[in-house]
Amino acid sequence: MALLGRMGSNPIPGAKIRWHMRAEKSFTLASFRKLKLEKLGIKYLIPMPASQDLTIKFRVSPFMNLYYSLEVATGSVKEAYNEEYAKRMKEIFPEDILERFARLSNCQRFSWLLKFCLSKEISQSKLEKTSYHSQESTISY
């Protein structure tokens, strides 16, 4: 897939900048709307890098979601944008579980370690110990 423009693909000589400026108008974040090539010093029309250097796996993991839900609910990362979510999670988890999690979380240090473990799929074995098995096999871990 041609993600980036190639030197030979622009049919209008000298139109590189115009092509770019048209593209940038549609960025959805305001801060990305005023991108100026010259200011950024970017060589536009860089050949597309070979994506075989990297493979992305998109994952949906119940334990990773559980972890972040607990983290937001206990306010480990208090932000304006997650207040509503935290409120909802407080209705889902019993108070003692949230209290225990907050103690263990210990200002991020524990959470980083556990998230690291979860991403290495230790969660799989933990998951098997719980009563939840219904759709496990359909999820990519």
Q: Which of 8, 12, 14, 57 binds another protein (CB under 8 A)?
A: 57
Nearer to another protein, 23 or 106 (CB): 23
Pairwise CA distance, residues 84 & 88, whole Å: 6
Q: Does 15 bind another protein (CB under 8 A)?
A: no
Q: Which of 8, 13, 56, 137 binds another protein (CB under 8 A)?
A: 56
Residue 3 CB neighbours (<10 A):
7
We find the least distance from the C-beta atom of residue 102 to another protein, in angstroms, to be: 12
Nearest CA to 49 among 4, 19, 111? 4
Answer yes or no: are the C-beta atoms of 66 and 86 closer than 8 Å: no
Q: Which of 15, 17, 27, 103 binds another protein (CB under 8 A)?
A: 27
- Six-digit token string for 138: 């359909």
We find the least distance from the C-beta atom of residue 3 to another protein, in angstroms, to be: 4
Half-sphere exposure of 68 (CA within 13 A, CB side): 10
Q: Which of 7, 106, 124, 132 binds another protein (CB under 8 A)?
A: 132
**61-120: contacts with another protein (CB under 8 A):** 61-72, 77-85, 87-88, 92-94, 97, 101, 115-116, 119
Pairwise CA distance, residues 115 & 122, whole Å: 10
